[in-house]
Structure 1
Amino acid sequence: MPQQAEATQSAPDDAQTPPVKRQWQIFLVALAFFTRIPIPAKTPYSSERLNQANRYFGAVGIVVGGIAAAVYLVAQWAFTPPIAVGLAIVVTLLLTGAFHEDGLADVFDGFGGGWTPAQKLDIMKDSRLGAYGAAALFMMLGLKWATLSALAEDQPLYPALALLVLHPLSRICAASLIFSYPYVRADALSKVKPLANQQSQQDLWVLITTGLIILLLLPLSSALALVVVIALVRWGCGLWFHRQLGGYTGDCLGAAQQISELAGYLVLLALM
């Protein structure tokens, strides 16, 4: 968890906290967990609130995607669209500390280099970057840059919309896996241990509602296409993780976010 979240205080009795204020505080916990964006040092924290923060992962994506879209819109006035796209991607890496990209690399290193689930998990815990992970990162970042740049060829402002829409949708896709598959590593090195259990239907509905709201920014045909493709990516990632490990880890969620984000950009490009 990022440093600013570690400095937060223990949560007070939730019964004494107004519901709206409590939800805002839970959102801040989610923001601290998944980004490097500072939050107030006095934000109350508890393992229960971190567990409930799952519901706001899509909202965190709106923040990250919104900042990236703003950077692109400003940069494209001074530079060519490919340069503006590159700067927007760099900003997302800085905002998140490459949290999800790290998960993608670990998954490809583990799945590519290990034979048994135990071996794969050991490799995924290794902080060193292997050939499989490096190749996955290179291809992922390159394809995202190329796809967003291609979107800008016909409609220079369209990459901003794509960033704003796909960052939350991809995080919703990844977070939703928690509700369907078992968590396979519960040790101190876990990135999502407090988030991997006791999820409620309310958490799921907040995720889904966030996704539906962001889809309103798109034409109906584009929104439906994204829903279908991201649902397929979710199914494919879930099946892949289950066959490789018997469930998911925090790294798997990061990989799912990256894969679904790229798939969304490709769908929007294909529809153009």
Structure 2
Amino acid sequence: MKQLLYGFLLAIQFLTRLPVPVQCPWNRDTSRWAIRSYPLVGMIMAVFLMAIHLLLEPFLPLSMMVLVLLTAWVWLSGGLHLDGWMDVADAVGSNRSLEKKWEIMKDPHVGSFGIIALFFLLAWKCLLVYLLIDGGTLIYSFLFVLAFSRLGAVILMLALPTAKQHGLAWEWKMNISWFDGLCAFLPIAIILFWFNDFLFLLPAYIFFYILFGAWMAYQFKGSNGDLLGAAIEGGELWGLAIIWTYFSFVMG
């Protein structure tokens, strides 16, 4: 039980800015429980965003509410995955060799492709959150979007080799198996049972994992921390878009 708790707290420390006033040991067991906790941490972040929405909705105009939510969203993650999104955009936009792409991703400076990619990512997120709030479907959407996108990082970590035999992604991958991926899915399965109107997201995200994984394998021949961070950001945008499309056109 102690290893489970430490692993859960490790996942919170790694994926969010939420304070964890405990020194958590890193070992095989705690790292496995941390990976299993990825979607659950996404749900906790979603609860924070939903609480902000419920508390401030009576007082703020819709456009300001969207900006507050997006600001809180970025703050909660510490911009960790946005950094990966920008690094990957710079690498892909360079049209250079595979080794040069890896070098670009390690460069701490952000290039023009990274800035452009960040701008459009946040712009599309703003628009989709606005539309979901306006359509009345936002309140539970965050739960699924943040959980499924972090499950995607786990699935891709398991499915693809790490590009280098060192680094954070390699350290995580060394200690996990597909059983850990199944454990990570369990919290999502539970909320899907209660909110079965969102079952359509399961095949939608499976398609996304396959598509993004195939793209990673083609472009980079493997994974690393930046690519998994980009997968989380891409998964969040994908989820928002799928939910809006489904409730606007399929159910509408």
Please indicate, yes or no, whether the TM-score normalized by the shorter chain is above 0.5: yes
Q: Which amino acid aligns with 1:199?
A: I
- The aligned residue for residue 232 of structure 1 is 207
Q: Distance in 2 between matches of 1:118 and 1:47?
A: 31
- The aligned residue for residue 151 of structure 1 is 132
Among all aligned residue pairs of Structure 1 and Structure 2, give the percentage whose two residues are the same amino acid.
26
Q: Is the 8 A contact 2:37 2:184 kept in 1?
A: yes
1:179 paired with 2:154, answer: no
Q: CA deviation at 1:64?
A: 1.1
Q: Which amino acid aligns with 1:108?
A: A
* DSSP-derived class of the 1:78 partner: coil
1:27 paired with 2:8, answer: yes
Cα deviation, 1:138-179, whole Å, max 9, x if unaligned, reads 111111110110112231xx3231112211111001211111
Q: 1:191 to 1:198 in 2, by over 3 A?
A: closer
1:264 paired with 2:239, answer: yes
Tell me how many residue pairs correspond in the alignment: 247
Q: Is the 8 A contact 2:86 2:117 kept in 1?
A: yes
* DSSP-derived class of the 1:248 partner: coil
Q: Distance in 1 between matches of 2:196 and 2:181?
A: 25
Q: Distance in 2 between matches of 1:202 and 1:254?
A: 22
**Structure 2 segments unaligned to the other structure (5+ residues):** 248-252
**Aligned with residue 67 of structure 2, among 86, 106, 110:** 86
Q: Is the 8 A contact 2:41 2:147 kept in 1?
A: yes
Q: Is the 8 A contact 1:100 1:258 kept in 2?
A: yes
TM-score, with length taken from structure 2: 0.91
Q: CA deviation at 1:55?
A: 1.0
Q: Distance in 1 between matches of 2:72 and 2:111?
A: 25
For 1:1-272, list aligned pairs within 5 A: 20-46=1-27, 48-155=29-136, 158-187=137-166, 190-220=167-197, 222-223=198-199, 225-272=200-247
TM-score, with length taken from structure 1: 0.85
Aligned Cα root-mean-square deviation (Å): 1.7
